[in-house]
Structure 1
Amino acid sequence: MKRTTYYNAAAQMHDQWPIKKALTLSDVDITHPFLTLSRQQVETHILVYMTPQQQEHLRNDGQVGFNAQDDDTGDAYVMKLKWRGSYYNLIGKWGKVVRGKGLDVGQEIKIRWFNGCLHFSVPEQQVVVVPPARMVAAPLVQDHWPIKKVLTSSDVDTNHPFLPLPRRSVEDHILVHWVPQEREELRKEEQVSINARDYDTGEIHVMKLKWRGNYYNLIGGWANIIRQKGLGIGQEIRLRWANNCLYFSVLAEQYVPTASGHDNWPIKKALTLSDVDTNHPFLTLPGKAVEDHILFYWTQQAREQLRNEHQIRINARDDDTGDLYAMKLKWRGSYYNLIGKWGKIIREKRLQVGREIRVRWDNGCLIFSVPE
């Protein structure tokens, strides 16, 4: 344990309880019982008051034992403080404290050091932290997506499909809305089934939220979502919990720039991982762009056929080579998939993530180009 300056002495705070923390799921997990505390708070308000022998013991062994007291009940415990680098864990009898006090996510624990003993308190009035109004929050509040993430290459990998989410975000904005029984099931089973709704299309997926310690994985139908929405690196996914359902959204304009009406190529898109997957070959195009710049030129009969059958045969031409293809345009609600010979096009043109494809409709044919 290497520290040049272990901690700085600080004057006693006027607040009787200088350390306060809202408990997280890991804090109340009795299968791996420990309470995580920030390094700055511990070193400012606890370690500075320990004896030199205790400080030396902590430096050499990475942990130190001491007495702790529950100020709400008067119960005394022998516990330990363990240094973890950027934070500290309170261990020992913490699992017994969690069970004895019935601690749950969102409750506030207050901590102080006094007369050679760690004192803690969890006021009863903090037990109910989520009012009913929050439990039934409407999902349509404008720009109210508390969890946002820019997708990485592993997030859109259909071979190992899962979406990792930070622990703090999930516990603050999802689990806080769950009833205690649901949180307990997640703690015991380490995963729980949930309903997830695509806010952009209205489609519902049955998925699972899996606890992985410092983060949570969204699994189950994630691979289908990647392929259906054509998700790629750099897109932003937004999530929120409402009405017992996980809502998520990926705005089309995040990856399809708005084109000028005078542009010879009104539809432009940077290819994503799903767009160049030859195992499941299709090109995803945003609904508005297709309807404004392709379907707009179709006959009423052709548009009606697409609506009724959800797909229609079209001719496509590679503007770079002049090659012709018989393909299909498939309607998926808020977006369209170009299927048929797309796998062959990927291989022949050696398409890769990040390349820009340009699309337009001309003389009854879909024209596309991928500049070198």
Structure 2
Amino acid sequence: MKRTSYYNAVAQVHDQWPIKKALTLSDVDITHPFLTLSRQQVETHIVVYMSPEQNEQLRADGQVSLNAQDDDTGEMHAMKLKWRGSYYNLIGKWGKIVRGKGLDVGQEIQLRWIGGCLHFSVPQHQVVVVPPVRPVAAPLVHDHWPIKKVLTLSDVDINHPFLLLPRRSVEDHILAHWVPQERERLRKEEQVDVNACDYDTGDMHVMKLKWRGNYYNLIGKWANIVRQKGLGVGKEIRLRWSNNCLYFSVLQEHYVPTPSARDNWPIKKALTLSDVDTNHPFLTLPGKAVEDHILFYWTEQGREQLRNERQISLNARDNDTGDLYVMKLKWRGSYYNLIGKWGKIIREKRLHVGTEIKLRWDSGCLIFSVPQ
């Protein structure tokens, strides 16, 4: 249960729907029925209003039972909210709801927590128009790239070569152009072959797009592309689908390192329920923030050790008290955990949900502060 941006909990009213989501391909797949919900939205608008017993069950079991009411029909369902680390899944009767309401890609679902119950609604007038299947592809222009991503440490790791792409971007800008049979094949086989063209060189590659539930991986020749193009952390890759082919481009000048000044705190995070859990003490930090503002200043040997061993010891200093700690930074793929003395820090600084922590890397040490 982790979140990376500061929030102020807002009191819920009956006519307010704080959580809104356009349904994606995986949300309406009844062979693997679950609704994926944003970690930040769930923790801001659902978890904070649950009973202490429900919060404890969620912490202990990684999932919690709850009642969910369809406000369009009045039907009540016994369901479960499952914590998946960087997001949540609503499971149980979701497949039945998809079939019963005839849900499809692009429809908007609204959710809120009221009176100890999860309420949801899918108003018919809020259906989002989905692009027609296999439209006539517009001419590929050099400055039109709907998918852009700054490469992270895992994206350029040639020992485990794959490019991780956000599910929403892939489904909106790639799968929307596929025929239903191709989308169904991806759902069933979880990966399909695609032609990928390097727009910068004209090289063509046969690759695979692999569905991982909450995201997609581009695999196959990715390690070769990383080596040939000299890709590294911080470079931006751009992608688009045109003429039955996935085009990609990496412009060298798009990489601009961000300097860290002594009075600057480039990493800021509002603490979540899991961040202040002293039974399982760790601070979760977003992958991009760590790689841009911490690993960027490490030696190549240090980054290589972290890649190979998945964790590395470091010095951490409390800027508020001057206390120095020996801790560990653990790589978890798309995010990092700071472990070691974190439980002690929680207790001594009396950290709680919503408190903001600030971090920076300075002179070979991780500096952190929790302003009062």
Normalization by structure 2: what TM-score? 0.53
2:195 is matched with: 195
Aligned partner letter, 1:231: K
Tell me what 1:111 maps to. Answer: 111
> Over the residues paired in the alignment, what is the CA RMSD in angstroms?
4.0
Q: Which has the higher contact order (CA 8 A, sep 6+)?
A: 2
Distance 1:224 1:84, change over 3 A: closer
Deviation at 1:201, TM superposition (A): 4.7
Structure 1 residues 212 and 59: alpha-carbon distance in aligned structure 2, compared to 1, 3 A threshold: closer
Residue in structure 2 matched with residue 338 of structure 1 by the alignment: none
The C-alpha deviation readout for 1:129-174, integer Å capped at 9, x for no partner, is 3234994452434422232345578756778654333434323432
- Does the 8 A contact of 2:197 with 2:246 survive in 1? yes
State yes or no: 1:247 paired with 2:247. yes
What is aligned with 1:23?
A: 23
Q: Report the Cα offset of residue 210 of structure 1.
A: 1.2
CA separation in 1, counterparts of 2:100 and 2:173?
A: 27
Q: Evaluate the alpha carbon distance shift between residue 242 and residue 71 of structure 1 in structure 2; reply closer, same or farther with a 3 A threshold.
A: farther
Per the TM alignment, residue 111 of structure 1 is displaced from its structure 2 partner at its CA by 0.9
Matches within 5 A, 1:85-96: 87-96=87-96
Kept after mapping to 1: 8 A contact 2:68/2:118 = yes
**d(CA) in 1 for partners of 2:56 and 2:21?**
27
* Alpha-carbon separation, structure 2, partners of 1:149 and 1:58: 33
Give 2:19's aligned amino acid: I
Asked which structure has the greater CA Rg, the reply is: 1
1:11 Cα shift? 1.8
Amino acid at match of 2:111: I
Q: Is 1:65 matched up with 2:45?
A: no
Query: TM-score, normalized by length of structure 1?
Result: 0.53
Does the C-alpha gap of structure 1 residues 137 and 123 become closer, same or farther in structure 2, counting only changes over 3 Å?
farther
Contact 2:81–2:88 (8 Å) recurs in 1 = yes
| Distance verdict in 2 for CA 1:10–1:181, change over 3 Å | same
Residue 167 (structure 1) aligned with residue 175 (structure 2)? no
Note the 1:119-134 alignment, pairs <5 A: 119-127=119-127, 129-132=129-132
Deviation digits for residues 47-96 of structure 1 (CA, Å, limit 9, x no counterpart): 45545554554455443322222234444321122344554332211233
Partner Cα separation in structure 2 for residue 90 and residue 44 of structure 1: 16
User: Pairwise mapping of residues 1-372 of structure 1 onto structure 2 (< 5 A)?
Assistant: 10-13=10-13, 15-51=15-51, 53-84=53-84, 87-127=87-127, 129-132=129-132, 135-149=135-149, 162-202=162-202, 204-222=204-222, 230-234=228-232, 236-251=236-251
Q: Write the distance in 2 (CA, Å) between the matches of 1:176 and 1:146.
A: 13
Equivalent pair of 1:152/1:233 in contact (CA under 8 Å): no
Letter in 1 for 2:231: I
Asked whether the equivalents of residues 165 and 218 of structure 1 are also in contact (C-alpha less than 8 Å), the reply is yes
Check the 8 A contact 1:195/1:206 in 2, yes or no. yes
Unaligned runs of 5+ in 2: 256-372
Percent identity reads: 83
